[in-house]
Amino acid sequence: MILIDGKRTANEIVEELKPRTAAFEQKYGKKAGLAVVLIGNDPASAVYVRNKIKKCAEAGIASFPHYLPAETSQKEAEELLEALAADSSVHGILVQLPLPAHLNADRILAKIPAHKDVDGFCAENMGKLALKEEGCVACTPLGVTELFKRYGIQTAGKRAVVLGRSNIVGKPMALLLLNADATVTVCHSRTQNLKEECARADILVAAIGKPRFVTADMVKAGAAVIDVGINRLADGTLCGDVDFKAVKEKAAYLTPVPGGVGPMTIAMLLANTMRAAERNP
């Protein structure tokens, strides 16, 4: 079994970005810039935001953090997004989800113009992905695709199963695999014979948020298994959606949690920001 090292691959991507960020700064007299908006006190979100800002600095991308209190009003949040949309030093905007329950996330996210939507969540970017046109693709599934490329995992003609159909992971993942010529099945909470569907997959991507849901009997021998899930257990440790210990005896490729898809998500955020800056300096 080949253990896919997302941390190392993500570091390689950051190294590869450095000459591009430097060239951009030299050409335009400013750095590529990412605005990061965090509203409220969710501890996990605070950790993610800190990591993203740290990695921006490492890659030579300017970050503009905006930490707003949990009681921020819809109007205040929308006004901040409007200002960031108009700010020429900001090339990418990220709103850390989830937002506090009283806020309408859709209306806030709708303030991000498509060319600054480095998370690739907006209708225009999702539509472009569906049409196989160039746009900005959601960071997590894009990171998974990058792992396929860098580990030489063939997708064309392969049977791929995506577990989960969320707008931020499952759906764009399925579209990316389809665009990469895989034969794609998407499974969700209403899928029948889910075990059998998974067991037929040459490539299995698990993104459902259920600890160790994917057991060895759901994995075809020699499959590539990508674990997107991040679940915090009662003892405080993290685990994925895949039963790592059992599945590693059967899979040909497997990502660990942590250290698999997570670091790739951040690397793709930086890559998307750089691309957004190069397209609209």
Residues that bind ligand NDP in the complex, under the rule CB under 6 A: 140, 163-166, 168-170, 187-191, 194, 207-210, 228-231, 261-262, 265
CB atoms inside a 10 Å sphere around CB 111 = 18
Query: H or E element: which one contains 66?
Result: strand 62-68
Region for residue 13 given its phi and psi (left: phi exceeds 0; alpha: psi -120 to 50; beta: otherwise): alpha
Length of the chain: 281
**Contact predicate 73/42, CB 8 Å:** no
Minimum distance from CB of 168 to ligand NDP (Å)? 5
Closer by beta carbon to ligand NDP, 163 or else 270: 163
Q: How far apart are CA 23 and CA 21, in angstroms?
A: 6
Minimum distance from CB of 249 to ligand NDP (Å)? 23
Minimum distance from CB of 107 to ligand NDP (Å)? 19
Q: Which of 5, 31, 52, 55 is catalytic?
A: 52
Q: Which of 5, 119, 241, 243 is catalytic?
A: 119
**Contact predicate 52/78, CB 8 Å:** no
Closer by beta carbon to ligand NDP, 32 or else 257: 257
Backbone angles phi, psi at 48, to 5 degrees: -60, -45
Closer by beta carbon to ligand NDP, 93 or else 267: 267
Minimum distance from CB of 139 to ligand NDP (Å)? 7
CA atoms 193, 197, 198, 199: torsion sign: positive
Q: Specify whether 52 is catalytic.
A: yes
Q: How far apart are CA 275 and CA 13, in angstroms?
A: 13
Minimum distance from CB of 65 to ligand NDP (Å)? 19
Closer by beta carbon to ligand NDP, 31 or else 119: 119
Minimum distance from CB of 116 to ligand NDP (Å)? 20
Query: H or E element: which one contains 75?
Result: helix 74-86
If you search the block for the tokens 């895989």, which residue do you land on? 182
Q: What 3-state class would DSSP assign to 98?
A: coil
Closer by beta carbon to ligand NDP, 80 or else 270: 270
Closer by beta carbon to ligand NDP, 80 or else 201: 201
Which residues are CB-contacts of 52 (< 8 A; sequence separation ≥ 6)?
34, 36, 63, 94, 266, 269
Q: Which of 5, 96, 158, 227 is catalytic?
A: 96
CA atoms 51, 280, 118, 261: torsion sign: negative
Catalytic positions, please?
A: 52, 96, 119
